[in-house]
Structure formats: C-alpha cells, structure tokens
Amino acid sequence: MAMLDVTKLSISFGGLHAVDDFNLNIEKGELYGLIGPNGAGKTTVFNLLTGVYKPTEGIIRLDGKDITGKSTIEINRAGIARTFQNIRLFKDMPVLDNVKAGFHNHYKYSALTGILRLPRYREIENTMDERSMDILKVFDLDKEADLMAGNLPYGKQRKLEIARALATEPKLLLLDEPAAGMNPNETAELMETIRFVRDEFDMTILLIEHDMKLVAGICEKLTVLNFGRTLAQGVTSEVLSDPAVIAAYLGE
C-alpha cells in the first residue's frame, strides 16, 4: 500500500486554480521530489497535504487512512510533519526545547504534574532530553542545544526545523526547499543528512527543491508542477530529460 495516495486534488482561490487535478503516489521509504517554476503551486500542495488549506476537491490518504479536510494538528498526529520555506522556528526557545516541543504528543504529562513536579515529570523530561539529543546529534546540532534557536546560523536553522519535524515521529516528512540559501558544501552535507534520515528513521520523504543537483542526486521519483497542473511524473532521470519539463524550466 502506498504511504501517500493523493487523487484529483484541487483548490482554487477566487476562481484561480492554484492546484488542479493533482495526483501523487508515494511508496513507503521513497524519496520523492516535487519541482516546478516559481508560483507553480508546490507550497500550495504542501499546505493542502498538511491541512493549512482545505481542498475544493480530491482525496488525500496517508498509509491508507483518509485525512482529507482534517486540521493541521490532526494531520500531524496522523503522521505528516513538515518544514517551511520561510523558516518557522520557535526563535526565543533553546534549540533543545524546539525539538522537545516536537515530542509534545508522544511524551505526555499534565500541566499539574509539571507544576507540582511529580516524579513522572522528571522521568519523562529525562527521556525527552535523551531522545532530543539523539536527534540533534544526527544534524550535528547537539553542541548548540542550549543556544536560542533564533541565534543559530541560517543553515543550522533549516536543519533544526527538520529535527523538530522528526521529533513528531511522522510517517511522511515534507521538506519545503531545505537547501534554500545554503552554499554548495552545505547542500552536499544536507543531501547526506536527508539520505541518512530516510535510512535511519525508515522515513518516507517528499521534498520541494529548486536546486537541481540535490533533486537529481537524491530523489528517486519526481513530479513537475507548472501553473498548478502536473507536467510530468515518474522516475527522476526520465522526468528531467522530458522536453516539456526542460521547456517549462527554460521559461517558454
């Protein structure tokens, strides 16, 4: 069964079809790329998948479960986590706490337990700290655990967003331009990390990216969007040599 199964997904804003008849099928463990020129509707697809927008039409299934029309919170609980094109960290919280916030629905104790500092509080906090540090280590952020997230350099902020998303223990991870603003070295390193995350966490990943080197380097399959419609879909090498795709990218 597919991890993500999207059929006939559409949304229009005041008559404008931002995304039209979008179909997508991602198998478990796949690394899938969503590309297209600016304004093609890629981020809108992410917003539809995560419940920020409600689709006018279509069905979204995650691991066989219909999640169409659910709220962002419910969808995260069902197993989709994401990062944002314009970084959205909890800037005035330490790096560690950003990740711990990600564990919110996995390690629970009540507000009263916290206020009264019952034994359960210490116990769960210890576990959360351990696990958060493990995740931070994957992204080489463990040394900066006590810094305020807003004080991290740009590249590390992008990584922290992925770390936070992973803490919600998703089935599907959506990355919105993870390499934006990174230099070639950082991008190469990020590619390694994404691959590592997929293998180590047994993760299914869908990513939006403009950096073709990254896309060609790590994505097994691609979907190309143009003006809200699917231009091409399939194995990466074939899609990238499709004349229609090349034309769209050259801006014809």
Partner 1 sequence: MNEKQNNHEIIRRMRRKSLRNSLLNYGIVIVVFAIMQTMIATGHISSLLKGLLVPLCVYVIAALSLNLVVGISGELSLGHAGFMCIGAYTSAFFSNVVGDSMPDLPRFILAILVGAVFAGIFGILIGIPVLRLKGDYLAIVTLAFGEIIKNLLNVLYVGVDSHGLHFSTTSAMDLNMEPTGRQIVKGALGISGTPKNSTFTIGVVLIIITLIVVQNLVNSRSGRAIMSTRDNRIAAESIGIPVTKYKLLAFSVSASLAGVAGVLYAHNLATLNTKKFDYNTSILILVFVVLGGIGNMTGSMIAAVILTALPEMLRFLNNYRMLIYAIVLIVIMLFNWAPASLDFRSRMRERLWKKHGSDAEGGR
Partner 2 sequence: MSFLTYLKDGISLGSVYAIIALGYTMVYGIAKMLNFAHGDVIMVGAYVVLMLLTKAGVPGILAIIIAMAVCTLLGITIEKVAYRPLRKASSPLAVLITAIGVSYLLQNVALLIFGADGKTFVDVIKIPSLSLGGGKLIISGTTIVTILASIVIMICLTMFVNKTKQGHAMQAVSEDKDAAQLMGVNVNGTISLTFAIGSALAAVAGVLLCSAYPIVTPYTGAMPGIKAFVAAVFGGIGSIPGAMIGGILLGVIEILSKAYISSQVSDAIVFAVLIIVLLVKPTGLFGKNIQEKV
| Residues at the contact surface with partner 1, assessed by CB under 8 A | 50, 52, 71-73, 76-77, 81-82, 84, 88-94, 96-98, 100-102, 104-105, 107-111, 113-117, 121, 124, 128-130, 133, 137, 142-143, 145-146, 164-165, 167-168
Residue with Cβ nearer partner 2 (43 or 230): 43
Taking residue 196's Cβ as centre, other Cβ atoms within 10 Å add up to 13
Integer Cα distance of 175 and 207 in angstroms: 5
- The one of partner 1, partner 2, none whose footprint includes residue 91, by CB under 5 to 8 A per kind, is partner 1
Backbone φ and ψ for 211, nearest 5 degrees, come out as -75, 105
Q: Which is nearer to partner 2, 70 or 198 (CB)?
A: 70
Return the number of the residue (69 or 184) whose C-beta is nearest partner 1: 69
Tell me the closest approach of the beta carbon of residue 135 to partner 2, in angstroms: 24
CB of 118 to partner 1, least distance (A): 11
Select the binding partner of residue 137 from partner 1, partner 2, none (C-beta < 5 to 8 A, by kind).
partner 1
Instruction: Return d(Cα 89, Cα 171) in angstroms, integer.
Output: 21
Count of Cβ atoms closer than 10 Å to residue 153 Cβ: 9
Q: Using CB under 8 A as the criterion, which residues of the chain lie in contact with partner 2 when the complex forms?
A: 43, 47, 52, 84
Helices (H), the chain: 42-49, 72-78, 95-102, 111-116, 119-138, 154-167, 184-201, 212-218, 236-240, 243-250
Contact by Cβ (8 Å): 31, 230: no
12 burial class (0-12, 13-18, 19+ CB within 10 angstroms)? middle
* Shortest distance (Å) from residue 51 CB to partner 2: 11
Shortest Cβ distance from residue 52 to partner 2 (Å)? 5
**Smallest distance, Å, CB 105 to partner 1?**
5
